[in-house]
Amino acid sequence: MKVAAVQLVSGADLAENLAQAQHWVAQAAQAGAQLVVLPEYFCFMGHHDTDKLALAERPGQGPVQAALAQWARDCGVWLVGGTLPMATDDPSHVANACVVFDPQGQALSRYDKIHLFRFDNGRESYDESAVLSAGDVPTAWSLPEGQGEPWRVGMSICYDLRFGELYRALAADVLLVPAAFTYTTGQAHWEILLRARAIENQAYVIASAQGGKHDNGRRTWGHSMVIDPWGEVLAVHSDGPGFALAEIDRTRLRSVRSQLPALQHRRL
């Protein structure tokens, strides 16, 4: 099965962001991708954290979810909608939610980011908890492939990548990581962490990132990639919009898990 990790440089114009995302989803589908993963905040990166509150959607309602459903139908792909702001009971906070759509445009699964990023090195500072409400449910879903065994797909978002226990709980064949890693943290840790999650879980990792200089002055690391269960990087898109395209193979997954049955050797 071909998969694509789409990379964007989203800004503060919702319509423009959606147009760019639609373009790259279509391009990935034309290249043969059956599973397409958009990055975190693909639809909007405002000038202030609170800007996203005005765009909060309810489940099954709103222009972002409608667009994702339409793209999935039009392109005939399984589409992972990066993240979008989803309304909560607290009007001052939203969930950073990832919604998955099947090729018929039906919402199949939703995951709310569990771990909220906070960072301050004296030059740049972030605290997602100021406007985001954390999720608390590890989420996985089943992706059929022809007449064969379905893939178990585990969900995560950006900062979740630093918490290996989440991935153990997912027990998945494919791990998704839509992200908007900062340039500073991404340069230091992005590929190392992604390859570690692939190796220790003997799973494919599809990591779709923001990658460039944004309207709000933020710079993201990019380097969207697909990694195999041995930790080999199969494809990478370093900077700017585009996508990393690669094949995931059930035989390869079984081979790695059979030759080194580490998952069977766990004691804790």
DSSP the chain: -EEEEEEB---S-HHHHHHHHHHHHHHHHHTT-SEEEPPTTTT---SSGGGGGGG-B-TT-SHHHHHHHHHHHHHT-EEE---EEEE-SSTT-EEEEEEEE-TTS-EEEEEE--SPPEEE-SS-EEEGGGTEE------EEEE--TTSPPEEEEE--GGGGG-HHHHHHH--SEEE--B--BHHHIIIIIHHHHHHHHHHHT-EEEE-BB-SB-TTS-BB---EEEE-TTS-EEEEE-SSSEEEEEE--HHHHHHHHHHS-GGGG---
Is residue 158 annotated as a catalytic residue, yes or no? yes
CA 64 to chain centre: 16
Residue pair 45/180 in contact (Cβ under 8 Å)? The answer is yes
Type of residue found at 125 = S
**CA–CA gap between residue 71 and residue 252 (Å, rounded):** 30
Residue pair 132/93 in contact (Cβ under 8 Å)? The answer is yes
Two structure tokens written together for 59: 């489940």
**CA–CA gap between residue 143 and residue 164 (Å, rounded):** 23
Point out the catalytic residue in the list 43, 52, 75, 113: 113
Point out the catalytic residue in the list 40, 43, 52, 128: 40
Q: Give the residue numbers marked as catalytic.
A: 40, 113, 158
